[in-house]
Amino acid sequence: MKPLLLPPNGVPRFYRGGPAITALRGAGLGGDRVPEEWVGSTASAFGEGDLGLSRLPDGALLRDAIRTDPDPWLGPAHVRRFGADPALLVKLLDAGERLPVHVHPDGAFAAAHLGTAFGKTEAWIVVGAAHADTAVHVGFRDAVEPETLAAWVRDQDHDAMLGALHPVPVAAGDAIFVPAGTPHAIGEGLLIVELQEPTDMSVLLEWEGFGIAGEDEATLGLGWETALACVDRGARDPAALRAAPAGGPLASLLPTAADAFFRGDRLDGAAELPQGFAILIALGGAGTLHAAAGTLAVSRGDAVLIPYDAGPVRAEGDLEAVVCRPPHPELEAAR
């Protein structure tokens, strides 16, 4: 097997966005209400059947190909730990408007209430910002009492909810790790590569005025009393959500706490990519990926799937990319 180019896979959502992905990928996703592309996805949108599943160049679903013969795609160690599941979902996300304050369940909550094997810890790698003052909002500044949070949600007090979060200015190249349970909102005008556990579960603390059908949709059908139990109401230090700067042509972008959930590296020029399943998103330049079974020319906007069976892959040229990998199979996460 060798690296292969993935066709576009736009996913409609409730919020505006999409043109920035089109500009990067060079292919339209279907308008300004298709703000996400799910790249190399074997996960589907919550309650939406096959929506979100990626197809291979021959039209087959990647999910089905991996299930048929997982070892060449994922590697034996990964399969022993996670089965025929990459344990990773990669997205391109174009926030054409500020997203609502929301939170994702962790693994324990998801298993108990939603019957899934994964929660939704995630990370954002900023690709571009349309505005110089764009920020994300992540984690409460101060601990919030349960009755206070419940009142904000009941009254849909947008100012109180957003104001209670840390505003974190971001620019292209920045990366933020967002553990499950952490309330957050992505600012308008950001294009990001998002790495996450392979689920689609959001509790929308803000929902009024965001095109959400109602409280049942906002709570994943759980009702507020249950849904609010997944929120981390403690104060959080946003500095701990960033990694220390790293040098070299292949450098980690995320803090080590992320390794049990996913891994994200910046590729800048010639480097050897270690063997393993990976999703590469080319952000600039051009280059060639050399694998034992052949080569692949890659340039800005390409999305590439690298199977385990491709072996170590040598990148040559001036390619700039984000390389996304599944969790380290030997690290245990609180799922």
Closest CA to 92 of 220, 170, 6: 6
CB atoms within 10 A of CB 172: 13
Q: Which of 132 and 106 is assigned the larger pLDDT?
A: 106
The string of pLDDT tens digits covering residues 38-83 is 999 999 999 898 999 999 999 999 999 999 999 999 999 999 999 9
The string of pLDDT tens digits covering residues 166-177 is 999 999 999 999
Domains of the chain and any CATH numbers: 4-241 (2.60.120.10), 256-325 (2.60.120.10)
Measured distance CA(262)–CA(325) in Å, rounded: 6
The string of pLDDT tens digits covering residues 83-111 is 999 999 999 999 999 999 999 999 999 99
pLDDT band for position 17 (cuts 50, 70, 90): very high
Q: Which residue has the tokens 């009941």?
A: 154
The string of pLDDT tens digits covering residues 230-285 is 999 999 999 999 998 888 999 999 999 999 999 999 999 999 999 999 999 999 99
Alpha helices in 146-282 (DSSP H): 146-155, 158-163, 215-218, 224-227
DSSP state for residue 7 in the 8-state scheme = P
pTM: 0.96
pLDDT band for position 209 (cuts 50, 70, 90): very high
Q: Which residue has the tokens 């995630």?
A: 122
